[in-house]
Amino acid sequence: MPERIYKLQPDRTLALRGFDDLGASAALHSATSNSFKVSGIFRDAADFAVLILYDADNFYEHPRIKYLPDFEFDGLTLEFDVRYTGLTPLDSTKYPTIDWAFLDVITESGDKVQIRLYDADPAKTRAVVQSGQRTYAECSFRVEDNGLKEFDRLTLWYQNLWFDYIVDKVECVFAFEGKGAGTLHTVTVAGVAYSYLEQTGDTNTSVALGVIASLASCPEVRATQDSGAANQVLLRAKRDDGAGFAVSSSSSTTNFTLYGVGANTVARKLADAINNANWPAINAEIPLRAEVSGPVIRIIAQTPGEEGNMLSMYSLSKNEQLRTTEETATFTGGTSDVTWHVKLDFSKIALELEKPELTRIRLMWLTFAPKIANSAAYLDTEWEAVFSNWTVSGPEDRRRLKVAAPGSVRTEESAPECVYSGDWKIESTDKQETGHLGPDETKPGSGFYSGGFAMRASKQGDSVTVKYTCPAAHDLYLGTSLYSDRGAVAVRLDGTHVKDIDCFINNEPAVSTRRLIREHVPAGTHTVVIAVITEGKPFVFDFLEAAITGDVPDSLPPGAEISPALDYSTDHTYKLSPARLMWIFDKLGFTAPMNEYMGVFWWNQRRRVGAVMPQAQVMFSGSFAEGDTVKLVFGVDEPEAPALRLAKTVFPGETPAGIARHFKQYINGQSVVAWAEVNANVLTITARSAKPAYLVELDKELSPGSQGQVEITGSLSTGNAGTWEVDPSQTPALNRGARDWHRNLFQECAQRSREIVVACSMELVHPPDGFGAVYLDSKVVETDIGFGQLKSTHCAFVPPMLDYQKAVYTAIADLMAQSGITPNLQFGEFLWWFFTNRNPENPDGGMAYYDEYTKAAAQAALGRPLTAFFAPTDDPDVNGGEDVQFLQTRLRDYVAALASHIRAQYPNARIELLFPYDVNHPQPAGVHNLGGRLNRKVNLPVEWERKETSPFDRLKMEALDFGAWSRDLNLATTAIRFPLDLGWPEDSIRHLVPIFRGGYPWNKEVELALKAGIPVVNLWAFDHVCLYGMVLNETKGRSLFMG
């Protein structure tokens, strides 16, 4: 039955866009029709991962099942639940240096729109708590009354906000003198008179003591003899309620108002200051509120969530008479451990944002970002986002996606029905030898074209006329390439101008896709003329497609002989969920045993080496005066992006060390680009990352005339992000993203009883020192891999590499076994490096047998240094063949040790060798003259020539150069025959055929291998099957051909 698929369907249309660096990893996995997971590891604060929710210009599927571009989202609503672990939470209040806060959209017209998911305003938010709890961070201070006095001062600081209390009058003094017996001496407190009747013989002092005694019952004041004079009575308020009351005396005409102030009152006054602050006007990132219990002030973040835990406050006291027990208080207890429910009604959002273009969407994605580390450097963190209850509602015909169903007609650019006028040139996807490059590595103007080729023109008036016949009513599409340098064309159908199509798109890389010419074209024969209308801007004609639209057709009949190979380095593998990937295999009828190469990029555990984090020291010194303002300025002022200024207003008695402490707390609570620590009066500020987005200028601003000094050394604008080196010490050897993805892949295979073999090779990107193979001139083997500036190192057969590969293969075998399939492992090209670096510019170069381990082992085994070998064609019989025998044995023993290790844990494990015959051909052959007698000898130990003496269950042959580059079926046949002629049983042989370059009759090589009795052929690689639009041909051997 045909299958209907839908926009935003997790297991059919979602894909990972990628992650930012080798140190990070991410994987989309566990996808069903209404749920999926994304997980991985971040190792740098600037890391991020992007998940594509929808791409109208679908990059991935084979044309047979690739949905047609559809931009319509009017009337659709997406709803889902999501729970984050180890990620910046949706309710984060921090500035989004990375787009974690938004659903990003690019409309059909090319506008970028950001839709914020969570908003603190309930009327604006699109995310609400579904389950779990967001708690509020809080801290507390205990006020100490150690005999506080009038004008004592206590201040609590939050960022550059101060909550201040100055003590009112709490005591007064009256002096008494004897006036003679019978004189009444009175103190009136709060309207109540307390009197002493002077007696005969009283002195000034005894009168004062008599007054003190009369006040013993007074609830408002405590009376004591003043230390300044014996006849003076000191009155101090007993109460601790902040209320004032009048005090007067018969001995004085001066009246006083005392206030009942103690620790409780001070706590309450400071809490009132916090609660009465005009927080909306202050515009603080996280406002505060306060509660009191006796002398304890409990200060609570008004915004819930774990980022409140980044806040801290400190107290400043005039003296020890009034202070807090804690000098600083750090907020704790904030949590964001919730599942969110997100609802996105695209029509409603378009109205709210006044962006009607939001109902026509080309691209849509979510971004995941690391949590901001709390007052510290970022540490490696595994993370996960779990999406559930994923639904899309709206009209059925708006939700569904259509494909060009059976009966559709695609006319390729090379068809005789295409007649060109003007200056047209052939455009092709010309790949490097491995064929592993992704679309973002192609040069501008190239791309992945249907069948591998297209035509290109750039002069106004250049045209192509296409005549086609379609048996049913159809929609007509132009297959082309969109890019920032592309021009526009005018399209006529049966003599009538239909539309102009502009192939400009502000996107990197180029997008090979289809654009609608006209809907509902009647059945029959039609003529289309496509003419360039923009001078000097290229237009690419790939194909014309008459699409009879419908649902995804039935799966092709299963074939047990042919299956594309996967490469985890390529977009068509690591960016797809295993559910979507295996669905493509199912639909294309690929049920033969699968082959996956782990690649060289995305699966390793890594550590940073050679990094220099931007760091600056700020020293505060001199005499800062009350009212001075000190500012640290992060960045430079730009018209729409002013610099960030963090300020400190100086209070009396503040020291340089106190100012340094202030900025530490302010930076750690506020900044997304840096964190700080303090030692006395020196503040050390460290950038959270050395990536460009986190590099800022740091400056200072001081009040004019200030006697304080601020000295900045170091820099926050320069640093070195370092190199992400493979880390053999981490376990498991596969990172979180690779583990989760492969576990799910193996589960999908188990569900289908589908055999899969997984390969690693001797290649690593950024291995540790001592791993790499070394040329005769002591240079490590490095090869360009076509991905940025990265290079791959071919590693040597040395103990550290062996230990690492034991851990790697064990991790893969563990995942297979846990998923219910037998561990099936391939040693991919486990050979001595097959090229020399010797050339006229480097006459000291040679073969790569000269790492320190191998040289030492050769000295021990041969009693002399290993002979200098210069080229693959050198004589292997030099010194009676002792040197080559040594190298051959070293390879044999390395592989045997690895195989034994695997089988000791999994006795039923199957092990396969991938052997590249082109580079090991006995004589140089093919267009690149690969091979040579030395390679042939050192790379095939005699024990491997027969299955029963080898450690392998299978031998898989490849000769990519002979096929894809040399296009020589005779040479390809030698690779097919090689294991058979050695005596390997047919059922223990597999063959790998290159398909990554157009023009090679690879289907013939497939047919030759199958006719030779080889039971399984894998195609290198799966991405090209889809990108080139290879279609299935039901002929003998179920071979394939370019459409």
**What fold does the segment set 5-133+335-401 form as a domain?**
Jelly Rolls (2.60.120)
- How far is residue 990's CA from residue 976's CA, in Å, rounded to a whole number? 9
Reduced to 3 states, what is the DSSP secondary structure of residue 451? helix
Give me the residue label for tokens 């603080």. 284
Residues 845-871 pLDDT 10s: 999 999 999 999 999 999 999 999 999
Q: How confident is the prediction for the chain on average, in pLDDT?
A: 94
> 640 is written with which tokens?
């729409």
Stretch (H or E) spanning 233: strand 232-237
User: What's the confidence (pLDDT) of residue 114?
Assistant: 97
Q: Give me the amino acid identity at 51.
A: L
**Rounded distance, CA 854 to CA 866, Å?**
9
Q: DSSP secondary-structure letter at 745?
A: H
Domains of the chain, by residue range, sit at 5-133+335-401, 138-166+263-330, 171-259, 407-547, 562-604+723-1042, 612-715
The beta strands (E) that lie in 74-152 are given as 77-85, 102-107, 112-116, 127-135, 138-145
Task: Specify the CATH architecture of the domain 171-259.
Answer: 2-Layer Sandwich (3.30)
pLDDT at 327 over 90: yes
**Per-residue pLDDT tens for 45-90?**
999 999 999 999 999 999 999 999 999 999 999 999 999 999 999 9
Q: How confident is the model at residue 226 (pLDDT cuts 50, 70, 90)?
A: very high
- CA distances from residue 965 to 566, 659, 920 in whole angstroms, order as listed: 20, 69, 16
Q: Kindly tell me if the per-residue pLDDT of 106 is higher than 50.
A: yes
**pLDDT tier, 438 (very low <50, low <70, confident <90, very high otherwise):** very low
State how far the Cα of 174 lies from the Cα of 933, in Å rounded to an integer. Answer: 115
User: What is the CB neighbour count within 10 angstroms for residue 720?
Assistant: 11
Residue 3 gets which letter from DSSP? Answer: B
What are the C-alpha distances in Å from 499 to residues 70, 526, 530, 1004?
18, 16, 10, 42
Q: Which two tokens stand for residue 888?
A: 């051959």
CA–CA distance, 125 with 103 (Å, rounded to integer) = 13
Rounded-to-integer distance, Cα 1031 and Cα 1026, Å:
9
Helix (H, G, I), strand (E, B) or coil at 246: strand
Structure tokens at 505: 């798109």
Instruction: Count CB atoms within 10 A of the CB of residue 282.
Output: 13
Instruction: Give dist(CA 937, CA 946) in Å, integer.
Output: 15
Give the Å distances, CA to CA, from 843 to 776, 836, 996, 1032: 10, 11, 34, 50
Residue 836 tokens read as 């020399």
Nearest CA-CA partner of 50 in 95, 87, 91:
87
SS3 sequence of 645-666: EEEEECCCCCCHHHHHHHHHHH
Residue 626: other Cβ atoms inside 10 A: 10
Provide the pLDDT for residue 297. 98
The pLDDT tens digits of the residues spanning 719-775 come to 999 999 999 999 999 999 999 999 999 999 999 999 999 999 999 999 999 999 999
Task: Give me the residue label for tokens 């005009």.
Answer: 278
φ/ψ region of 543 (left if φ > 0, alpha if ψ in -120 to 50, else beta) reads beta
Phi, psi angle pair for 838, to nearest 5°: -85, 130
Average pLDDT over residues 780-794: 86
CATH class, domain 562-604+723-1042, is alpha beta
Write out the E strands in 394-538: 400-401, 403-404, 409-412, 418-421, 425-428, 453-457, 463-470, 474-482, 488-493, 496-502, 511-521, 524-532
The full 3-state SS of 751-803, as one line of letters, equals: HHCCCEEEEEECEEECCCCCCECECCCCCECEEECCCCCCEEEEECCCHHHHH
CA end-to-end span of the chain: 24
234 token code pair: 């000191």
What pLDDT is recorded for position 182? 95
Q: Are 41 and 381 in contact (CB under 8 A)?
A: yes
- Is the pLDDT at 444 greater than 60? The verdict is no
Tokens (6 digits) for 748: 């999908």
Instruction: Please state, in angstroms and rounded to a whole number, the distance separating the CA atoms of residues 767 and 263.
Output: 63
Q: What percent of the chain has pLDDT over 70?
A: 97
Q: pTM for the whole thing? A: 0.93
Count the Cβ atoms, other than its own, within 10 Å of residue 862. 15
Do 647 and 411 contact (CB within 8 A), yes or no? no
Largest Cα–Cα distance of the chain, in whole Å? 139
Least trusted range by pLDDT, from 841-845, 1001-1005, 1037-1041: 1037-1041
Convert the pLDDT of each residue in 659-677 to its tens digit: 999 999 999 999 999 999 9
C-alpha dist (Å) from residue 629 to 632, 651, 875: 10, 10, 80
Average pLDDT estimate for 881-909: 98
Nearest to 702 by CA among 638, 636, 621, 643: 621
pLDDT at 803 over 90: yes
The neighbouring-strand residues paired with 911 are: 825
CA atoms within 13 A on the CB side of 62: 28
The pair of structure tokens assigned to 1038 is 């179920």
Mean pLDDT, range 866-891, rounded to an integer:
97
User: Read out DSSP for 266-311?
Assistant: HHHHHHHHHHTS-HHHHT-SS-EEEEEETTEEEEEESS-SGGGGG-
Q: Pick one of 3.40.190.80, 3.30.460.80, 3.40.640.10, 2.60.120.260 as the CATH number of 407-547.
A: 2.60.120.260
Phi, psi of 673, rounded to the nearest 5 degrees: -105, -15
Q: Residues 901-910: what's their mean pLDDT?
A: 98
Confidence of residue 1031 (pLDDT cuts 50, 70, 90): low
Residue 782 pLDDT more than 70? Answer: yes
**What's the pLDDT tens digit per position in 448-459?**
899 889 999 999
Q: Both tokens of residue 285?
A: 């990132």
Q: What is the pLDDT of residue 1?
A: 85
Check pLDDT > 80 for residue 786. no
Per-residue model confidence as pLDDT tens digits over 166-192: 999 999 999 999 999 999 999 999 999
Which of 419, 389, 527 shows the shortest CA–CA distance to 469? 527
pLDDT of residue 1032: 58
- According to CATH, what is the number of the domain 612-715? 3.30.70.2150
Give the whole-angstrom CA distance, residue 1041 versus residue 654: 81
3-state secondary structure of 260: coil
The reply to whether domains 562-604+723-1042 and 612-715 share a CATH topology is: no
pLDDT on residue 742: 98
List beta partners, residue 930: 925
Question: Quick one: which H or E segment has residue 882?
Answer: helix 882-905
Confidence of residue 428 (pLDDT cuts 50, 70, 90): confident
Q: In this structure, what token pair is assigned to residue 32?
A: 């069903």
Question: Mean pLDDT over residues 959-983, rounded?
Answer: 96
Contact in structure between 286 and 311 (CB atoms under 8 Å): yes
